[in-house]
Amino acid sequence: MEIQTASNSAAMNNDPKRLHKCRNICFATMGGLIFIIILIVILALTVFKPKNPVVTVDSVTLADLKFYLDTTKFQVLFNVSLDVDLSIKNSNKVGFKYADSTAEMNYRGLKVGEVPIPAGKISADKTAPMNLTVTVMADRFISDSNFFADVSGGELPLETICEISGKVNILNLFKFHVVSTTSCDIIVFLSNSSVGDQNCNYNYKV
């Protein structure tokens, strides 16, 4: 009886139809997995393709300006702070997390002020407004040989630079590091404490 049972089991294992059915199931399972993997890759490279955050300088206004020029003593009293309104747009279909960053102000290539930008997160397809107040370091202005000529002419050329870096997590499988840098050239008119037109350049990289 045991010999007959063993014989029947061997016959079932060698049954061509049964083996063919097992192979079809294996191929169908493998094909399904491959299709899912390809679909995930296609979505990651198309619909969920990582996009750089867009940092836009919406406006720059003078928050405070104290300026006095004594030509007889060749002395300058100078203190200024600027309100910089930024907007960070996340064009990705997933959230964007960015690390601690800084916005800085330059005068003829010399950094004269900076303000921290705390880390945060922006939801998919959302824009986050941000208001920063940058107080400049007056002593660094005065150390530049062009400063007295600029204040005598009533115009102060400044540059604001803001760099935001962070990560985009696609489907919890792919993580991309993205960086957005915005630099704007502005003119501060000392005569009426106003800010002239700004010229901005944007640079993005993944």
Q: What is the pLDDT along the chain (206 residues), one digit of tens a residue?
A: 444 554 455 555 556 777 767 777 787 788 777 777 776 666 666 656 777 788 887 887 777 777 666 666 656 666 778 888 888 888 888 888 999 988 888 988 888 888 899 999 999 889 999 888 888 777 777 777 788 788 788 888 888 888 888 888 876 777 888 888 888 898 888 777 778 777 888 876 66
Are the C-beta atoms of 32 and 40 separated by less than 8 Å? no
Residue 22 Cα to chain centre, angstroms: 51
Residue 80 in tokens: 């200024």
Q: Domain ranges in the chain? A: 2-45, 54-205
Q: Which fold has domain 54-205?
A: Immunoglobulin-like (2.60.40)
